[in-house]
Structure 1
């Protein structure tokens, strides 16, 4: 089980740790707009949502294929395509161990663990290392992910893991570099993803009861070396859930009210915090989950309540119009990422 589900993870003040110059500037290859390929997503196989696998599907709803085959009780989550479409990264959460980052080919072959496993994590974890929310950098040879480490401290409102980091590793798992680290027991970082030109990244901070505002969620943008962090959404909006960049790097896609206190909607904002506006206006009680832009920038894929009451995968235009379903199942489908044509 992930430390993120076992504990209340928070985000507070941060310190920046210098990284190699290879990550400090625009030396990354830009991910240019391209042709649309398959959509990767997570599907739960049971009503209890205890087992989940990565699947792919064509945008027209045909050609569904299961990519990963986790054991019973294991959840594979948040798939992300490599820039050339040759690999998918995801994280795997066993019920009694830390989550780890993997890569796999779209046909299910060559499954490889990227992060070092720490084995079983007891109900009150001590010095576990938990990796989640992986995404590829535009150069296709590095992965950025969020890491929870350290001991657990008990607060009146819940337990808190000690550290939350944004980490970059080479694709083979070597050379880990911390870009940003939370102060002790102050916060959690979620869903880091680099801009198409590789010069900056967006991530979510999620506050605990000891960080003001308590239980707040907001998006921040930082330079590629982790410096220059800037808040781009107000705490009142509760922004988060694995933001995504438009292929031209001009917009950041996210959803509001991740904490569920109000109805979630899908929004966009410019990287400098301007131009904030909602794309959707779903009625109260609609489940809204994560999303991504299509490689050509002309569509958005996302998950929301479907025909059977469980979330399905949908697509819409960047204006929020033209919504149509891609999946129509009685099981939970979510966490879609639209890959490039192979």
Structure 2
């Protein structure tokens, strides 16, 4: 292999490909980016270019890649693949992110270069001239095994790169000395599509992390400078991101897709820059007298690997995105260049994950196709979008969200055989599979059916009339604007209806149920529950256990059920039904006078003014106790054994028949304390209160 010296008027260069002499190229060190090589041991070649017609794809393709998932966050930092001629020929090597474990992956007499990892880190695609004079695209396992040729034609096929969903490979192609164009093919080499056709030179195409765009370097002819461009994934909508009179080359997206790093000679020497994805706010991040080129982000976005001549020859270095923390990764007298930083391999439900989080809190978003998403550590938010997705949360509290979906959902967190979820998870027909290590779930705009697992789940329905089941565990279930049905299941659950006419069923466990703004049904379970109505006319049923049942605005019906229950109707005309046990109606939140009687009025129809005067609450005879508020209340028991507590204010209390206990101790002088007939307990009162009438005789 041959490396030229300094070219008059320009920096030193590594030869690039072609048969008409080398040409400045955005991927070769110095004036280029990441693609350069000799096509034979004694031939200096240059200028990759592209085709004027379709390529011949008649080659056999013995290997089929299992890369089925997109990568919005490429995941945890893994190995770095690179090109080196340290063994006398350009070959592909790999090493750790700190430079250790440098291992040769290819071995032949031709030039192997332009390595790029698949989104799951299992494969490396590269260019090689091993079969013919010109380069073709090959793929191999990340350990160098199963090297397979993907293209067969008379052109130079260079600079391959995987799409984030692992379904496609883009690359540049063209005859020596011609105009270079960008092509796309499937990962087995089939279904070739030409993406650019402008007669100029296109180089170093790379997908954005969401797979929607492709950044590349372009120039109209050999005498022009290179500029960074971006286009849609189908080749449409080409826009220039840089525009000046010097070379801007080698784009690489940050993992979040917000920025692009590249090399530029704008300061008179090739340095590494960073800019927003729209081309704004370029920031210089290396300041060296050497040539700094070929930047590539680490999957976690916390590092940038690049090629530099800082020690006199081409070596690979690493820095953080601000240019600090410099570390040299390769040290030898050979050429080491073309770094490509891949993700560490992760699995989700037995499948290779290519959308991979980190050990921190990540936001992971899939594509419209089938995704395999692994959140790993931290509290992650995961959105698979459309397609049949396979999702794992990992450790931490993880959320799968369908907030962007309009169709009805069937989403199940219980897993099942093979963690395959129910028959229909995600949008109907998509059959998402969500692992049991996902705890939180958010529905979409449709009428969704969400099912929790044995973990402590948080399930949010979103708009639409949703059915939400918490299952085992202490769950939080939230409806929204539709008519929702929420079932807590086992465990101590929190259920919130929010919008329209909702049904909330706590199930087993000590549950907390809150209605919304309409007419809701709240049902407790076997344990001691708290039921709170919202603004509408609500029906609240406490069930077994000692329940706290609270109405809100509206005409509510409160039923305590079994157990010793506390019933508070709130505003408006309410109906209290204590059920079995010793039940209490409370007016402790009232500041105005209350007139409340247990079990009076014809048919208990509220003919007597119970509650705040004019509200006409109805208190059934199976309520035993009354507690007043801060006003001057009139509280009357029935023929049973009652406990009546006046509270603040000048109160009148009447026990009637039964063994009653009246409590007037509030620091104020009350008006009347009358325990009524039968034997009663001694009244609890202040010294200034009137004596209790008939309040004696009980044990």
Instruction: Check whether TM > 0.5.
Output: yes
User: Residue 330 of structure 2 is aligned with which of 327, 330, 334?
Assistant: 327
Alpha-carbon shift at residue 281 of structure 1 (Å) = 1.1
Alpha-carbon shift at residue 291 of structure 1 (Å) = 2.0
Alpha-carbon shift at residue 57 of structure 1 (Å) = 0.6
Counterpart of 1:291 in structure 2 is 295
Kindly tell me: are residues 86 and 278 of structure 1, through their superposed partners in 2, closer, same or farther at Cα, counting changes over 3 Å? same
Report the Cα distance in structure 1 between the residues aligned to 2:72 and 2:124, rounded to whole angstroms: 16
User: Residue 134 of structure 2 is aligned with which of 85, 88, 98?
Assistant: 98
SS in 1 for 2:262: strand
Kindly tell me: are residues 334 and 254 of structure 1, through their superposed partners in 2, closer, same or farther at Cα, counting changes over 3 Å? same
Counterpart of 2:228 in structure 1 is 219
For 1:242-321, list aligned pairs within 5 A: 242-257=250-265, 262-283=268-289, 286-307=290-311, 309-321=312-324
Counterpart of 1:82 in structure 2 is 118
Gaps of 5+ in 1: 12-26, 119-128, 153-159
For 1:11-30, list aligned pairs within 5 A: 29-30=70-71
Kindly tell me: are residues 181 and 7 of structure 1, through their superposed partners in 2, closer, same or farther at Cα, counting changes over 3 Å? farther
Say whether 1:110 aligns with 2:143.
no
Say whether 1:180 aligns with 2:218.
no
Structure 2 length normalisation: TM-score? Answer: 0.40
Kindly tell me: are residues 249 and 53 of structure 1, through their superposed partners in 2, closer, same or farther at Cα, counting changes over 3 Å? same
Report the Cα distance in structure 1 between the residues aligned to 2:246 and 2:254, rounded to whole angstroms: 21
* 220-229 or 230-239: bigger deviation: 230-239
After the TM superposition, list the runs of 4 or more consecutive aligned residues in structure 1 that deviate by more than 6 angstroms: none
Task: For residues 307-337 of structure 1, give each alpha carbon's deviation from its aligned partner in whole angstroms, at most 9, with x where no partner exists.
Answer: 3x21111110000111111111111111101
Counterpart of 1:171 in structure 2 is 187
Kindly tell me: are residues 170 and 5 of structure 1, through their superposed partners in 2, closer, same or farther at Cα, counting changes over 3 Å? farther
Report the Cα distance in structure 2 between the residues aligned to 1:36 and 1:10, rounded to whole angstroms: 31
For 1:117-156, list aligned pairs within 5 A: 117-118=153-154, 129-149=155-175
Task: For residues 262-288 of structure 1, give each alpha carbon's deviation from its aligned partner in whole angstroms, at most 9, with x where no partner exists.
Answer: 3101011222111112111112xx122
Counterpart of 1:20 in structure 2 is none
Counterpart of 1:2 in structure 2 is 17
For 1:194-233, list aligned pairs within 5 A: 194-208=207-221, 214-233=223-242
Alpha-carbon shift at residue 208 of structure 1 (Å) = 2.5
Task: For residues 209-232 of structure 1, give each alpha carbon's deviation from its aligned partner in whole angstroms, at most 9, with x where no partner exists.
Answer: 5xxxx3211010001111111101
Report the Cα distance in structure 1 between the residues aligned to 2:103 and 2:122, rounded to whole angstroms: 16
Alignment: residue pair count = 291
Alpha-carbon shift at residue 237 of structure 1 (Å) = 3.6
SS in 1 for 2:209: coil
Kindly tell me: are residues 254 and 95 of structure 1, through their superposed partners in 2, closer, same or farther at Cα, counting changes over 3 Å? farther
Report the Cα distance in structure 2 between the residues aligned to 1:97 and 1:36, rounded to whole angstroms: 35
Kindly tell me: are residues 188 and 95 of structure 1, through their superposed partners in 2, closer, same or farther at Cα, counting changes over 3 Å? farther
Counterpart of 2:414 in structure 1 is none
Counterpart contact for 1:28–1:198, Cα < 8 Å: no
Say whether 1:53 aligns with 2:91.
yes
SS in 1 for 2:265: coil
Counterpart contact for 2:70–2:119, Cα < 8 Å: no
Structure showing greater radius of gyration is 2
Gaps of 5+ in 2: 1-15, 24-46, 50-67, 346-699
Counterpart contact for 1:191–1:204, Cα < 8 Å: yes
Counterpart contact for 1:31–1:83, Cα < 8 Å: no
Kindly tell me: are residues 253 and 63 of structure 1, through their superposed partners in 2, closer, same or farther at Cα, counting changes over 3 Å? same
Counterpart contact for 2:48–2:173, Cα < 8 Å: no
Kindly tell me: are residues 96 and 178 of structure 1, through their superposed partners in 2, closer, same or farther at Cα, counting changes over 3 Å? closer
Report the Cα distance in structure 1 between the residues aligned to 2:225 and 2:314, rounded to whole angstroms: 25
SS in 1 for 2:245: helix
Structure 1 length normalisation: TM-score? Answer: 0.79
Counterpart contact for 2:285–2:321, Cα < 8 Å: yes
Kindly tell me: are residues 230 and 281 of structure 1, through their superposed partners in 2, closer, same or farther at Cα, counting changes over 3 Å? same
Alpha-carbon shift at residue 114 of structure 1 (Å) = 1.2
Alpha-carbon shift at residue 100 of structure 1 (Å) = 0.7
Say whether 1:236 aligns with 2:223.
no
Report the Cα distance in structure 1 between the residues aligned to 2:114 and 2:328, rounded to whole angstroms: 20
Counterpart contact for 2:94–2:103, Cα < 8 Å: yes
Alpha-carbon shift at residue 33 of structure 1 (Å) = 4.0
Higher relative contact order (CA 8 A, sep 6+): 1
Alpha-carbon shift at residue 293 of structure 1 (Å) = 0.4
| Cα root mean square deviation, aligned | 2.6
